[in-house]
Structure 1
Amino acid sequence: MTGHARISIAAWGATALGSLVLTPVFSGPFLFVSVFLCALITGVGVLLQNLRIPRIVVPIVQLLVLVELLSLFFLHSTMKFGLFPWKATALEFNAQMADAMDSINRFSAPLPQDPHLTLFAVTVIAVTGFLIHVIAVQLRQAAWSGLLLLIMYTVPAATVHGGLPWLLFIPPAIGYIVLLSAEGRSRLSRWGRRISGVSHLDAAEPVEASALGQAGRRIGLTVVAIAALLPALLPSLPEGVIGNGLAGGSSGTGIGASISSTNPMLDMGRNLKRGENVVALTYKGGPSGGSYLRLTALDLFDGNTWQIAPRGQENRVTGDLTPPPGFNGDLSKVPLTTMDINVTRDLRSQLVPVPYPLHSISLKKDWNYDANALDVMSGNGGIVAGKKYKLTAYDIEPTPDQLHDSITTAAPDKYTMVVPERTPESIKQLAYRVTADAKDNKFEAAVLLQDWFRTGGGFTYSTQNVKGSGMAALEDFLLTSKSGYCEQFATGMALMARILGIPARVGIGFLPGTAGKDGVYTVRMHDMHAWPELYFQGTGWVRFEPTPSARVSTTPGWTVPADETTTPTTPTTTTEPTTPGAKQTAPIDKPRHDPNLSDQSGGTATGTGNWFSNGGGQAIAGGLGVLLLICIPWLVRTLTRRRRYLRPPGRAGAEGLWAEIRDTARDLDLDWSEISTPRQSGQWLVSQLPAETHPAARRLARGIEALRYAGDSNLELDLRDDAAAVRQALWAQAPARRRWRARLLPPSWRWYLSRGTTEASDLLDEFDLLLARLRSVLLPKRSTAGSHRG
């Protein structure tokens, strides 16, 4: 086999082994397809090099073959004449790559078996294999290909929560070592005859084991062992220790939450499923029972993600904001509520949490607002962490009759009525079927949708194994799994409302939080929430609540007919100041305990539990672990000694007792000779022991000598009593300091480690010889008659 072919195959093997790190992330047949494509690309490279094609041409042809194969496998419908990749192929490839990157950022591993995700995985592996082949074979720099194998770790590192299983580090390490070995052998062969070595085990063998191969296998074994054991032994770094997106520190114990204006839905999902439940903000004032605090509204849905639509020139916050869009009543008669909000440093957000519709806010410099969404956003990329501000908001509470009589003649904008073209017909039919009793009334249809999600549709609230809000995931959520969290409920109702002709968008923000002393509400990170907002002419954007009661206990009052409302309980009297004209309302939508979230009490709670639960138990466990670690040498020696004395009389039992006397002498720091015969060792023991123990020492030494060298020796010889007497005498003769050291850290234990290393080396020698024998059988030496010509 030629050198370039050997390196090419090794490069393919390294790619295949390295791609195993993606198995916790992607699902489906991506691995088999990737390995097959890499094999074809490798075969093309080997064939071209055997044909003596110029080196610079080989990677170009391989790249063209790679593009053709990816197009045939995944983008066949876009190819011209069904054979040639064209402009449409490139555009579709780019679109699917964008969808895949969004899915990777949005969803938790393992990712669903979607075509665009399979294409992404196969592309990453195939391109990596191609580049490894170019670097290792064409540029002859195999060592640098390890960087490409490392790049494949970036995908699972960003997606797999909790890190990769440490065993997955072994296959890429083995592949990298094989590639280096192949490249080194090829490079050495260009200098002349290979160097061979003979182990002390193969002196009589007719085959040779390569000395370079022996060294390479030993180095490789060490590297693989380090790669496998080091991740398991080192403590894990917490998420976010390197960085967590937006700038800003945290004074709390948790890592907080980062919320950007680019993809707040993604940030919310990450905070709910992975973030710590630290305090986000506190507020005082507002309606009795608390207030939803909205960050922004997502009005653009492209069939895959819900995002903030492109905006024009935003307005600088200087005074009162523009009136609520769609409201045609007399705003001067609408009550205003005031609120004081204190945002902690754990909430690193470019968007400001405010109630809707907002009237005014004390934030002025570098803060803008949008006239349609009435959300407040940083104008210079800053964050709201640590800010304190006051605001006033309209307390608009429409009645069910007002919304029932509302007639929407046109969409308020060009985004909130758009239904993506690839919306499945099954979702459209479902929307019409659920709202069949509405008799074309938009508000009644909206209430039926809300009730269907909360009670009638058989849905359950869960943050586990959620696939997101893309079109395929929404179809699965609405028709099959019926399990998700607020993102799925909000986006599902918003899409179905658009299908029915109701303008809809998705609000992102916080639930009202928990009431405390003096009317102060505490809002935590796990209070983040999403809800649909539907547009009704004359009232404007109205909040609905499709998320089941497991998360949100009640629905907005305007979605409940008057004859179904219950008499509200008398609110508790407080000293909370109210704005003139403000009215008392029943408590709204308090979040219940969510069993799917890891912590509802927050990461900064103190003063709860006892000393054991507040760290005492961990301290005890740590102390016991250290004690157990210290006792390992003593435990090994004790068990070994007990096992030796329990052996029955005979050759194996006598050798075990002799080894116990040897180890006892080493533990007591006596000068035991490894090269002495049993008789010489017996004489040495006599010199170390008191006179009453001399006969036992002589019988023990002569018994071992007879069992080793005398053919007619007594195989049932029992030396246990003699060995016990000799050991006890050695122990009694030693100083107390040596005895304690022999108990806690016996030197013989370290000797066994050294011996284990030697035995491992002998095992590698046997492995080298096995490979040499297989090579001599499968690849017999070529005739070398030409080399003997005179």
Structure 2
Amino acid sequence: MSTEAWGARGGARDRAPWARRTDVLLAAGVLAALVGATLPLLRVIDSGWWLAAALGLAAAVLATGVLGRGMRLPGVAVAALEGVVWVLLLTVMFGRSSAVLWMVPTPDTFATVPVLVSAGVEEIVLGAAPLEPGVPLTFVLVAAVGLVALAIDHVVLTARMPLLAGVALVAISLIPSIAVPGEIDLVGFVVLSVSVLFLLRIDTRARHREPDAPSVRGGGGYAAGADEPRRSVGATATALAIGAVAVVAAVVATPLLPSPLARAGSGGLGTGSTIDPTLELGDDLRQPRETQVLTVRSSASDAPYLRAVTLSDFDGSVWEPDTGRTTPLAADEESFPAVEVAPGIELEEQRATVEIVDLNSPWLPVPFPATTVTGLDGAWGALAQNRTVLARSGSTQGQGYDVESTVPRPTLEQISGIEAGGQVREESYLLPDDLPAIIEQTAREVTADAQSDFEALQDLQAWFRSSEFEYSLEAPVEEGFDGSGALAVADFLAVRQGYCVHFASAFALMARTLDMPSRIVVGYLPGVSTNESTDGETVYAVSSSQLHSWPEVHFPGVGWVPFEPTNSLGSPTSFSSASAAGAGAPADGAPEDALQPEAGPTASPTAGARPQDDLQAGGGGTTTTGGVGPWPGVGTGMLLLAVLALPGVLREARRRRAVQAAEGGDAGAAWLALQELAIDLGIPVPGAESPRAFGARLTRDHGASENAVGVLVAAIERSSYGAASRFEHGGGLAPALAEARTGLLARVTPWRRILSVAVPRSLVIRPGSAYAHPPEPATAR
């Protein structure tokens, strides 16, 4: 053995201890980062054994990677070994009843995987956060965390790209926050941040200790000078200081930022389980699947409308939710000021109990006008100016609460004698400068014969609910005005087809053109009776398709009066006449709750032409999966075999094309084929190595034919530096490539040859990349 070879082997032995320590530290950092990225999932999924199982599987995969690299196995072999551990442990946890020795999967075991995945996805789609994971969802979670661990392990330890892994883990940790907006998970954020910084530091230190890294004092190997430890300590202290400042700044600054507005579909994991305050309800209402969001029972004779948020500020294109200072809800006192009305107007006390079933929103659905809200968990604030309730932390999911409200009951004569207006937000009067003329013109035409403000509003309400308009969720999209802006309202008045957003926006803007303050409310229509009762009160169920918007106009001495202009939904607002039914009593057929639109049998949102009706009428419902027969297992097995064989087929097709090109004298194709073969066999192909040096290494260390490699090296050098792009003796390239291939394959083990065919690394690893330059064990010569 030569002195050079002995030095190489000695260097490998000297390097092994710190290299193994680096692998262990990086694996530990990856596991800690996975913990930080997984903890936010507890916001949307109840804690349980799935968390310990997922992190245990991730730890086993990472430990397998460390052991494989300690045995100097190539990256592909390490990945295969980790994949085997992943499959075996999943089998032990979820499929041992059909496995051999409780851990070796059989075709029956694989046949249950599609069933588990399908059921787990269904739990996510139909469930409401926080989900209670069953076996299918637990399988999906544990398997997914294990796969992420396997992928991150190779990004960090094989490719040495910890920053890319950090970006991926941060993206994963943000998914629960996007699904259910709420307070930042401080523990998860700090753990993930510190772990990523730790990975970056360990990787940087390892790069500086590589044997071929330049010394501080010169030379080719690592030989730290006297000042190197001091520099390393200084760099570490600086990195820790920067990281600590960044983490603390993020933790302190994040709570000071404004809370994001909930968007349709963003409040939970199910369909239709949130409240959209931006009047873009079309996508939510068009959801094909309908879910129950809450139940309500009330001391009133009918189910009440439930309001969540009001919108007064309109800039011509968007209605903005009302904001302001909130006061903490108190459990033992009124949450809002007492309702004040003009002398002679009666007040009625009502009580309602609401149970949230599937709704994640910072806005709480309450009857109007609420005075007291009790029974809530968490921190909640009351916005006094519009009597709405907003979460300071958490959401509505899982809440049960009681609401007391005081309802004004003016007679028709009383409200007809009052002009709309009063001391309200200035935004309730404002109109954009470029308001289309059709809006005001139509408002004045429809209300030309009205004798009072209330009569004018009744005329508008009756006009919208007449046969001239049609409720439609699809026509707005087809006509291109699926919104609530002034231009969309103008189009709606021309087409006269739309849904609640268009009716409410048009009514509110037309009222403002008549000098009346108006606003829009987003909430829920009255529910449908469940034929059940509690304490003598009927229980009503409210579904996701009953998400609704309606306008309100303010009358001094009465308050905000809601109207229902949406065609085919609810009932028009009206008040009883004192002369017809006695002072203060509602007339026959008039709503008992005079301040709300009637909540009679027609209040169901499905009274209009909604797409849910057609889907549900077809008898479609949820189906359960029965027993799994033999054919699905056979099909799954064949599909698995096809997937496993696909890389080898693709690699062989690429090799044949390269051989054909080499036969035509393409030196570049022949040289690339040689490099790709080396990558498949685990031979490093660094980008900085010249063709002549690479060829000499293949001949010296890996058994390639010297003559064959010489022909390929001469061809690629002439092609790269000469005038011709084709080798002048092109017919000799293909035989030389075949001869070199034979020599390389003869030197490696049978296992390596099988891997090069079944799992060809060259499909994803290009010559000269970081993945193409793994540490190569020194060979004795």
- With the shorter chain as reference, the TM-score category is 0.3 to 0.5
Which of these two proteins has the greater Rg computed from alpha carbons?
A: 1
TM-score by length of structure 2 reads: 0.43
